[in-house]
């Protein structure tokens, strides 16, 4: 690909990003608000999102995409699925079945799975990789706390690839929230700065930084993630809330932009089958379990993992 082609690709991506400003997209559009600063990574917080599990129709096609485009490696295979990750760390499971049926676009479920790369250099290297392979993007934003690029997989599951700025660059306000914005990310500058030394996959240290959900009701999401699971609200926006522990900008986001008032997901729907929240502080998990019991929300325990179905029909695993 010539430099002109690359610039055309990046320019077209930027134009598409600008077009999304007219309404909700898979890129976050939330002004956020903070008080303490730390240097901790997303997965070093008291609780974090550890894993995402998608139900898919075309397993070979989706597996190839997540390997070739997203740079994940297959860690485990079964007759009905695969688990992929980075440097031996499982991040994403893909499964299929005879009852898999494409979910409506407005069904509760996944807005995007967000893969957190170690730094701006690695974000740029991945951008160069997708530019050279003509992979279409759906958005790119500078969120003040992070720089993010968005795309969809071949079955329409949203994906974010992002890097965090150092927490010394974040701005917290007295109510405990963190300031975020959605500014245009200069993809051309990011591309120009990136090494062109051949990209062979995501760097060790890549993790799921957060997961963004489509839900039916924001008040219900606030009650579940804050009051039951013990996450803090780090930002609100019309139709969306952003939740985290450890003053991270968000580990979970929930919006109703496409899904307001929609019924629960049905078994076999494609998209997000379940996601895992891992607790680095076991006492927090026990507190959450006590609250689930008090609300008579059914759970199943297997070893250190507790499984349930969230209020929107999405599977949720809690582990320590």
pLDDT in tens, 276-287: 999 999 999 999
Low-confidence winner among 36-40, 126-130, 256-260 (lowest mean pLDDT): 36-40
- Give the pLDDT of residue 13: 52
pLDDT confidence tier of residue 48, bands split at 50, 70 and 90: very high
Kindly state the average pLDDT of the residues 314-320: 97
pLDDT confidence tier of residue 40, bands split at 50, 70 and 90: confident
Low-confidence winner among 16-20, 41-45, 247-251, 304-308 (lowest mean pLDDT): 16-20
Hunting for tokens 């934003």 — which residue is that? 141
Is pLDDT above 70 for 156?
Answer: yes
* Mean of all residue pLDDT scores within the chain: 90
Low-confidence winner among 30-39, 67-76, 190-199, 239-248 (lowest mean pLDDT): 30-39
Provide CB contacts within 8 A for 87, sequence distance 6+. Answer: 204, 205, 206
Tell me the CA distances in angstroms from 86 to 54, 62, 90, 202, 205, one per residue in order.
Answer: 17, 17, 7, 7, 8
Domains defined along the chain, listed by start: 3-319 (3.10.180.10)
pLDDT in tens, 236-259: 999 999 999 999 999 999 999 999
pLDDT in tens, 110-126: 999 999 999 999 999 99
- Give the pLDDT of residue 8: 46
What share of the chain has pLDDT > 70, as a percent?
88
What share of the chain has pLDDT > 90, as a percent?
84
Cβ count near 68 (within 10 Å): 13
The count of C-alpha atoms lying within 13 angstroms of the C-alpha of 2, restricted to the half-sphere facing its C-beta, is 3
Is pLDDT above 70 for 10?
Answer: no
pLDDT in tens, 181-240: 999 999 999 999 999 888 999 999 999 999 999 999 999 999 999 999 999 999 999 999
pTM above the 0.95 mark?
no
């Amino acid at each position: 690909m010539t430099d002109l082609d690359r610039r055309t690709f990046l320019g077209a991506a930027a134009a598409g990003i600008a077009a999304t400003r007219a309404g909700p997209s898979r890129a976050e559009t939330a002004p956020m608000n903070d008080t303490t600063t730390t240097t901790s990574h997303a997965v070093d917080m008291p609780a974090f999102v550890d894993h995402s599990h998608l139900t898919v129709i075309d397993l070979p096609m989706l597996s190839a995409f997540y390997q070739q485009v997203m740079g994940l490696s297959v860690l485990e295979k079964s007759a009905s699925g695969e688990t992929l990750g980075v440097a031996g760390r499982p991040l994403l499971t893909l499964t299929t079945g005879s009852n898999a049926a494409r979910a409506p676009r407005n069904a509760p479920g996944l807005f995007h799975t967000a893969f957190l790369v170690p730094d701006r250099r690695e974000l740029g290297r991945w951008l160069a990789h997708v530019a050279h392979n003509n992979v279409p993007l759906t958005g790119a934003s500078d969120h003040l706390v992070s720089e993010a690029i968005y795309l969809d997989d071949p079955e329409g599951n949203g994906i974010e690839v992002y890097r965090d700025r150092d927490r010394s660059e974040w701005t917290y306000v007295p109510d405990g929230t963190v300031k975020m914005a959605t500014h245009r990310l200069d993809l051309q500058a990011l591309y120009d700065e990136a090494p062109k030394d051949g990209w062979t996959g995501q760097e060790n240290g890549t993790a799921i930084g957060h997961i963004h959900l489509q839900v039916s009701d924001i008040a219900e999401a606030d009650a579940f993630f804050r009051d039951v699971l013990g996450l803090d609200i780090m930002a609100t926006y019309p139709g969306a809330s952003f939740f985290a522990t450890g003053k991270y900008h968000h580990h979970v986001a929930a919006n109703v932009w496409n899904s307001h008032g929609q019924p629960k997901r049905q078994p076999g729907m494609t998209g997000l089958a379940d996601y895992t929240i891992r607790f680095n502080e076991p006492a927090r998990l026990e507190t959450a379990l006590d609250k689930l019991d008090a609300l008579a929300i059914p759970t199943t325990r297997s070893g250190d993992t507790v499984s349930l179905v969230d209020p929107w029909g999405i599977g949720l695993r809690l582990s320590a």
